[in-house]
Amino acid sequence: MEKEAGRKKDWERINTMEKVDRRIKRTKTMMWEALMDLMDEMPFGSITAKDITSRADLNRATFYLHYNNVFELLDELENEVAGSFSQMLEKIEIKRGAAWEYPVVGQICSFITDNQRLCRCLLLNPRSDRFAKKLTEIMKRKGMQVKQEMGLEIDPMKEEYIHQFIACGAMGMVKQWLLEGMPMSKEKMTEFAMQIIRPIFNILLP
């Protein structure tokens, strides 16, 4: 009986924690949505905690329970999206002798298309290029994985230049695509990006 009672209490604690976690996640999502709405309407530097809580229909005490300022809210949102981007790239298998360029570029274009509102707000934010740097670092790490899996030998003096050129060039293309309202479909953008990037891949894979 005591063991049963103990197990019941354990489950009650777990269920309570899950409910609290869901409430916190829901509250944060509401604030993230409010921040994106406001970034569509005004410069990020003008947005206050009061603006966010008013738009999310929350009180300011709730905001300060989770964040010290609006920059912390933005940083968490950036990290959440960057984490999803990283997981997406990690799932792409790189195999020696197999085509890998198109799947990588295609998945990046698909991610941008599926999350275009988020990416537009975060990548085109004139007050911060932190998010672009986070995605660039993730793409560079994927490049290192490609190098290892393909057994590539790259001149160490040139390697960082190549990674920077590919990652920063890709990020510039993505920003321009978003800035223009994504007039090209993800399929056309993937093909266009491949036309530009393929010669660089040919240098890596002679």
Hey, which CATH number is domain 78-206, 1.10.287.610, 2.30.40.10, 1.10.1760.20, 1.10.357.10? Answer: 1.10.357.10
Tokens 């990674």 correspond to what residue? 163
Determine the Cα–Cα distance for residues 81 and 195; give it in Å rounded to an integer.
27
Contact 121, 36 (CB under 8 A): yes
Degrees to nearest 5, angle at CA 45 with 52 and 135: 90
Domain map (residue ranges) of the chain = 1-67, 78-206
Tens place of pLDDT for every residue, the chain, 206 residues? 555 555 445 444 434 445 557 888 899 999 999 999 999 888 888 999 999 999 999 999 999 999 999 999 999 999 999 999 999 888 877 665 546 677 888 889 999 999 998 899 899 887 778 888 888 888 888 777 777 776 667 777 777 787 778 778 888 899 999 999 999 999 999 999 888 877 776 665 54
Tokens 């570029």 correspond to what residue? 105
Please give the CATH topology (third level) of the domain spanning 1-67.
Answer: Arc Repressor Mutant, subunit A (1.10.10)
Of the candidates 163, 116, 156, 114, the one whose C-alpha atom is nearest the C-alpha of residue 137 is 163
Contact 146, 152 (CB under 8 A): yes
